[in-house]
């Protein structure tokens, strides 16, 4: 087995004979801002009226005990994200429709060119210990996130902390290193939680406080987390007494826990499981309105993918419609090799790339790479991974490409393999183009899994994210996406809607798109009388 190393978080473990993969990343940004409320999606009938209190048991993908992280500025797994959003809160967050929702911030105000932004905090918010939220907490959180030893260090890399200051108790004036047209879409990113000023190490040795709907009661790394209702929650009331978040890395094991009655809600179930459970009268399948990117990534700085003809051949060697039909059981739309379908500034006018194994053969012949053999490490880390990898290997044979599937542990796949191997799965959820490109596509991006480093592209991206005129910004983003479509390292074959499952005695389950504020957020969830 090849050795791939990284200090980024990963997912579960399982042994299998045939590998496959598909991973997720996804859509995007919203320039419009709305109020703090949200729609709670719940299909299916309840067995009885709601009752106050109770403990909800939720099973979700996690990591090994040695790799699990509690700190919201470092936790990278699905389980870590669920804990973070239920204990802490962000200044703004994504809605399902990809607009932005004000949370701890009441408003964001840019100056004329986006070189400075003012954050106006929501009055009356307190932490779970009763301490009022102030500008000092925001400044502390920003400084903490920018610590180069943390995974969050790249999220606010555009902020110039030397010129950022408090303006009264509820105002923060944020200076940018270079102009930024949409600071809100960055603040809605994965790690951007506000912690209490003075917060040091967050490792469970002492219970941290937050402004979220629940407070941490107990944390067992790689196993389970117990949360208790935050009676001081600013956006309450919260119906549940407690939430137990149970970590299980493997997709099949998660659904088994749900079916056996060990969990009331199961996140990240497989698409076949979702189709089967949709006819179960005791279960509600919760389907989000938008899909996540199912993709493979090629490192453009590593042979054989350093040749653009090889990359193009690989993109032509996958049957996208077959992926949607066979892997995702209809819970998906065909992808076109660029991130962010449905997002503002997504380039939906590009020609749809189709399955063309003959053209792929011709390109490989031109490159001197006929009968190409490549290795794809894969794991049962996320729904559809095994199936997508196996199907891709079948499709590629018609183009003369042999894809060898290599089984690796699921609980370390996204920390030690993804973006390190020449060909791998990629895991990103729904964010703005601004946030996603800043994290993955510039020469200095912290998660550049395709090795894409183009100074000209970097300069154009800096112009796009600084363009205050939406039309100019759209034009620049179209140019950026055209270059990636022609020459980049993604084989983005589908946008898959990732379903969850809930017992019918569970109400108020939000149909959140992964990466938004609603996914795995239990602030509105309740249990029915049985």
- Any alpha helices (H) in 165-215, and if so which ranges? 183-187
Per the CB < 8 A criterion, the answer to whether 179 and 467 are in contact is: no
pLDDT at 7 over 70: no
Per the CB < 8 A criterion, the answer to whether 391 and 326 are in contact is: yes
For 237, the 3-state DSSP assignment is coil
Per the CB < 8 A criterion, the answer to whether 168 and 106 are in contact is: no
Cis, peptide link before residue 237, omega less than 30° from 0: yes
The CATH number of the domain covering residues in 292-496? 3.10.105.10
CA dist 89 and 294 (Å) reads 28
* DSSP characters over 373-422: EEEEEE-SSSTTHHHHHHHHHHHHHTTT-EEEEEE--GGGHHHHTTTTSS
Mean pLDDT of the chain: 89
**Which helix (H) or strand (E) element contains residue 89?**
strand 89-90
Q: Mean pLDDT lowest for which of 167-176, 342-351, 486-495?
A: 342-351
* Contacting residues for 433 by C-beta, under 8 A, at least 6 apart: 28, 29, 339, 340, 343, 344, 345, 346, 477
Residue recorded with tokens 């992808």:
335
pLDDT at 66 over 90: no
What is the reported pLDDT for 303?
98
Q: Mean pLDDT lowest for which of 13-17, 336-340, 494-498?
A: 13-17
Per the CB < 8 A criterion, the answer to whether 62 and 12 are in contact is: yes
CA dist 337 and 24 (Å) reads 13
pTM score of the predicted model:
0.82
What is the reported pLDDT for 48?
61
* Contacting residues for 365 by C-beta, under 8 A, at least 6 apart: none
What is the reported pLDDT for 19?
24
Query: pLDDT by residue (tens digit) across 112-161?
Result: 999 999 999 999 999 999 999 999 999 999 999 999 999 888 889 999 99
* pLDDT band per the 50, 70, 90 thresholds, residue 15: very low
What is the reported pLDDT for 117?
98
Q: Take residue 168 and report the two structure tokens written for it.
A: 């009264």
What is the reported pLDDT for 12?
28
């Amino acid at each position: 087995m090849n050795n791939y190393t990284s200090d980024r978080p990963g997912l579960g473990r399982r042994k299998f004979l045939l590998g496959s993969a598909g991973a997720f990343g996804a859509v995007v940004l919203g320039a419009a801002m709305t109020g703090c409320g949200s729609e709670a999606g719940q299909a299916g009938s309840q067995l009885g009226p709601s009752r106050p209190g109770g403990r909800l048991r939720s099973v979700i993908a996690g990591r090994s005990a040695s790799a699990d992280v509690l700190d919201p500025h470092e936790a990278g797994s699905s389980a870590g994200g669920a804990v973070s959003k239920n204990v802490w809160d962000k200044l703004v967050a994504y809605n399902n429709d990809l607009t932005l929702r004000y949370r701890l911030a009441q408003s964001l105000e840019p100056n004329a060119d986006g070189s400075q932004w003012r954050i106006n905090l929501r009055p009356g918010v307190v932490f779970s210990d009763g301490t009022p939220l102030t500008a000092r907490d925001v400044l502390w959180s920003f400084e903490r996130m920018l610590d180069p030893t943390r995974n969050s260090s790249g999220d606010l890399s555009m902020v110039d902390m030397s010129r950022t200051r408090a303006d009264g108790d509820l105002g923060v004036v944020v200076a940018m290193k270079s102009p930024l047209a949409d600071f809100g879409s960055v603040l809605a990113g994965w790690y951007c939680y506000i912690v209490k000023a003075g917060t040091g190490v967050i490792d469970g040795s002492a219970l941290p406080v937050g402004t979220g709907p629940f407070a941490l009661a107990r944390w067992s790394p790689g196993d389970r987390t117990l949360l208790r209702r935050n009676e001081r929650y600013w956006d309450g009331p919260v119906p549940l007494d407690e939430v137990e978040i149970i970590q299980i890395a493997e997709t099949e094991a998660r659904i088994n826990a749900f079916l056996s009655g060990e969990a009331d809600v199961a996140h990240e179930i497989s698409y076949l499981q979702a189709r089967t459970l949709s006819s179960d009268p005791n279960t509600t399948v919760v389907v989000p309105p938008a899909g996540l990117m199912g993709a493979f990534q090629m490192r453009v700085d590593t042979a054989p993918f350093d040749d653009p003809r090889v990359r193009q051949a690989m993109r032509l060697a996958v049957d996208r419609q077959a992926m949607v039909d066979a892997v995702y059981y209809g819970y998906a739309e065909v992808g076109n090799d660029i991130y962010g379908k449905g997002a503002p500034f997504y380039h939906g006018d590009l020609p749809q790339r189709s399955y063309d194994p003959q053209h792929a053969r011709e390109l490989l012949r031109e490159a001197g790479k006929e009968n190409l053999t490549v290795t794809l490490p894969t794991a049962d880390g996320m729904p559809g991974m095994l199936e997508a990898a196996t199907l891709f290997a079948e499709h590629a044979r018609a183009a003369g490409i042999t894809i060898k599937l290599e089984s690796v542990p699921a609980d370390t796949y996204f920390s030690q393999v993804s973006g390190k191997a020449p060909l791998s799965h990629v895991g990103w959820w729904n964010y703005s183009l601004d946030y996603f490109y800043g994290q993955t596509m510039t020469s200095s991006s912290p998660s550049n899994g395709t090795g894409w480093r183009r100074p000209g592209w970097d300069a154009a991206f800096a112009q796009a994210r600084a363009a205050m005129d939406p039309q100019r910004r759209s034009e620049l983003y179209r140019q950026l996406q055209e270059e990636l479509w022609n020459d980049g390292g993604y084989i983005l074959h589908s946008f898959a809607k990732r379903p969850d499952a809930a017992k019918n005695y569970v109400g108020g389950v939000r149909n959140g798109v992964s990466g938004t504020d609603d996914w795995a957020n239990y602030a509105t969830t309740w249990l029915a009388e049985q």
